[in-house]
Amino acid sequence: MACGSCGTGGGAPGGCQSHGSCASGGCNRMNVHDWLANLPFSDPESGCRIVEVSFNNGSRKDYFKNTTTHFFEKGDMIAVEGVSGFDVGSVNMTGELVRLQLKKNNIKEESADIKKILRRANETDLNKCRETKAREKDVMIRSRAIAKQLNLDMKVAEVEIQADGRKATFFYIADDRVDFRELIKIYAGEFKVKVEMKQIGARQEAGKVGGIGSCGRELCCSTWLTDFKSVNTNAARYQNLSINQTKLSGQCGRLKCCLNYELDTYLDALQNFPDDCDMIEVSRSRAFLVKKDIFRNLMWYTMPDSTKQYPLTIESVQKIKALNRQGIKPVELETVEVVSKKPVEIEPTYVDVVGQISLKSLEKTSRKRRENERDQGGPQQGGRDNGNENRRGREQSGNNQNRPQQRPPQNREGQGQPRAPQSKDGQAPQRPPQNRGGQAPQRPPQNRDGQNQQRPPQNREGHVHQRPNPPAANRQAQPGRQPQKHPQNRGTQGRPKQAPDNNNEKS
């Protein structure tokens, strides 16, 4: 897979275009950064003349001596000495940083085993290298079939053929020693190359295959890790990790190499914890150590008769252990209250440089606008939504004016029933219940509190006062129809108007 830095506008990664097809470990596989490249030196001629060259997209690296007059930079394709021929590789590192690598690997610059750089790779060398690399996949498939026919307990992991096609290196994995003398003869006659067998481990195979680890990044063995150290389960125990083979194993089937990365930090932090406090005694029972928390300097204990865990400080554990040596058992464990603080998630504020708008900001804006309109008592003029509301209001008012007013309800004699009285708030009072004959029952109505309501006043003849004529607005709203005049009682003239009864019946 290619890294994001080498991508081009056409969609294909630039690393694949310049270095051929990327390996599974990425186009920056085993890549390094020369952090001494920009530093000036007093005598450039006296610098390191050794160049580190990468083959097969970082799968293999070697050192070569630059005896030519050319100055090579990182990424240049060069032709170097091979076995009975030449090979083509990419310059990976030059300058003083190579001298530090030679010192780390115990290689002397004057060693005769270091081969030389022949020339800068030309077009013929590059075409020959591409044709040879295209054969590697077919050769690997055929070599696995031959090893299976010979019943050899081995697995061919990778095949690397020299650029001129005269030599092939077979990398294989095997648990025990393999007698491949007959196998080499078959390979040499089948592929017409000089055969070299090289055994590798499971970690090296994972580095050649490549992949993504549980951390979400490329495997360390396929990007930068070359020195593989042994990893055991003690590294997981020191870091208070559960011994789960599924979670602790990598893609190679072995324990993850990253278990050793923080091991030294844990060992330094565990020096302050006592070593002889795996078990302490109290009056109730014995307490056994479960784990050591180096971040809070706490030691967690548990008892056989309960599943509860008790966090203790280092000082309290040492105090209890000293009392146990004297034969004294304390009553209870002096536990510490552990409060887990949840991290507060703060949403970062970014500058809108590409013109994108979040949906949350739109919701907040519309909510604020509605609140402002509600506070002001109505929509503001000039807005799009306000114009729609005003248009709806005008349409509704026009429809009310053109629509004829509903005819008031009438009784059996054809006379209009008086309109129910309304309160100051414009709400009509509740109508008293009636029986089937239309007359009010003898029992006076009661309110919610259970008290009898006052009987409406009546005149001398026993008739209930009626409400006067409807307002003028209703008379104007019904063209061609004159409102009926309700007769007034003679006995009520000159008296103040009172609320009439809705029944218009004798009580």
* Same domain (yes/no): 101, 119: yes
Percentage of the chain modeled with pLDDT above 90: 27
Sheet holding 167-173, edge to edge: 155-161, 167-173, 194-199
Q: What is the pLDDT of residue 408?
A: 52
- Give 21 or 43, the one with higher predicted confidence: 43
Closest CA to 109 of 153, 157, 51: 51
Flag whether pLDDT at 8 surpasses 50. no
Mean pLDDT of 249-269: 91
Q: Kindly state whether residue 313 falls inside one of the protein's structural domains.
A: yes
- Which of 81-95, 335-349, 491-505 shows the lowest mean pLDDT across its residues? 491-505
Give the pLDDT band of residue 475 (cuts 50, 70, 90).
very low
Question: Can you spell out the DSSP letters for 175-212?
Answer: SS----HHHHHHHHHHH-SEEEEEE--HHHHHHHH--B
* Same domain (yes/no): 197, 165: yes
> Residues 161, 132: contact at Cβ < 8 Å?
yes
Tokens of 339: 């409060």
* Same domain (yes/no): 158, 203: yes
> Residues 135, 161: contact at Cβ < 8 Å?
yes
Partners of 427 in the β-ladder? none
Flag whether pLDDT at 7 surpasses 50. no
Give the pLDDT band of residue 343 (cuts 50, 70, 90).
low
Give the domain CATH number at 148. 3.30.300
Give the pLDDT band of residue 145 (cuts 50, 70, 90).
very high
Reported as half-sphere exposure (CB side, CA atoms, 13 A), residue 385 has a value of 7
Angle between helices 136-149 and 181-191 (to 10 degrees): 140
Q: Kindly state whether residue 361 falls inside one of the protein's structural domains.
A: no
Mean pLDDT of 252-268: 91
Partners of 249 in the β-ladder? 255
* Same domain (yes/no): 280, 266: no
Tokens of 273: 């914890």
Q: Kindly state whether residue 7 falls inside one of the protein's structural domains.
A: no
Tokens of 211: 């992949």
Q: What is the pLDDT of residue 199?
A: 92
- Which of 245-259, 312-326, 474-488 shows the lowest mean pLDDT across its residues? 474-488
Partners of 288 in the β-ladder? 279, 302
- DSSP letter at 458 equals B
Q: Kindly state whether residue 434 falls inside one of the protein's structural domains.
A: no
Q: What is the pLDDT of residues 163-197, one digit of tens each?
A: 999 999 999 999 888 888 899 999 999 999 999 99
* Same domain (yes/no): 253, 297: no
**In 432-485, beta strands by DSSP E:** none
Q: How far apart are CA 265 and CA 285, in angstroms?
A: 34
Give the pLDDT band of residue 138 (cuts 50, 70, 90).
very high
Mean pLDDT of 460-488: 50
* Same domain (yes/no): 255, 289: no
* Same domain (yes/no): 125, 54: yes
Total count of domains within the chain:
4
User: Which of 81, 108, 131 is the C-terminal boundary of a domain?
Assistant: 131
Mean pLDDT taken over the chain: 75
* Same domain (yes/no): 156, 104: no
Tokens of 349: 């504020």
Reported as half-sphere exposure (CB side, CA atoms, 13 A), residue 255 has a value of 17
- Which of 80-84, 192-196, 343-347, 424-428 shows the lowest mean pLDDT across its residues? 424-428
Q: Kindly state whether residue 122 falls inside one of the protein's structural domains.
A: yes
**Cα→Cα distances 270→275, 294, 297, Å:** 9, 7, 9
Partners of 88 in the β-ladder? 79
Mean pLDDT of 339-351: 64
* Same domain (yes/no): 111, 163: no
What is the amino acid identity at position 419?
A: R
* Same domain (yes/no): 106, 151: no
Mean pLDDT of 268-291: 89
Alpha helices in 210-342 (DSSP H): 234-238, 245-248, 263-269, 314-325
Q: Which residues of 93-110 are buried (b: 16+ CB within 10 A; e: fewer)?
A: bbbebbeebbeeeeeeee
Q: What is the pLDDT of residues 35-68, one digit of tens each?
A: 776 776 655 555 678 999 988 877 888 999 998 8
Give the pLDDT band of residue 491 (cuts 50, 70, 90).
very low
Q: What is the pLDDT of residue 449?
A: 55
3-state secondary structure of 312: strand
Tokens of 281: 């005694």
Flag whether pLDDT at 103 surpasses 50. yes
Q: What is the pLDDT of residue 125?
A: 92
Residue reference for tokens 């949840």: 342
Q: Kindly state whether residue 148 falls inside one of the protein's structural domains.
A: yes
Q: What is the pLDDT of residue 396?
A: 53
- Give 340 or 122, the one with higher predicted confidence: 122
Per the structure, the complete domain to which residue 261 belongs is given by 229-272
* Same domain (yes/no): 87, 159: no
Percentage of the chain modeled with pLDDT above 70: 62
Rg (CA), the chain: 48
- Which of 101-115, 141-155, 185-199, 440-454 shows the lowest mean pLDDT across its residues? 440-454
Q: Kindly state whether residue 362 falls inside one of the protein's structural domains.
A: no
User: Which of 64, 99, 131 is the C-terminal boundary of a domain?
Assistant: 131
3-state secondary structure of 409: coil
Mean pLDDT of 443-465: 54
Q: What is the pLDDT of residue 306?
A: 83
> Residues 93, 101: contact at Cβ < 8 Å?
yes
Q: H/E element holding 390?
A: helix 384-402
* Same domain (yes/no): 139, 199: yes
- DSSP letter at 283 equals S
User: Which of 325, 341, 360 is the C-terminal boundary of a domain?
Assistant: 325
Q: Kindly state whether residue 124 falls inside one of the protein's structural domains.
A: yes
Residue reference for tokens 């008290």: 451
**Cα→Cα distances 97→74, 106, 175, 338, 496, Å:** 12, 14, 37, 50, 114
* Maximum average pLDDT range among 94-98, 197-201, 412-416: 197-201
Residues 6+ apart with CB under 8 A from 129: 88, 121, 163
Flag whether pLDDT at 494 surpasses 50. no
Q: What is the pLDDT of residue 354?
A: 58
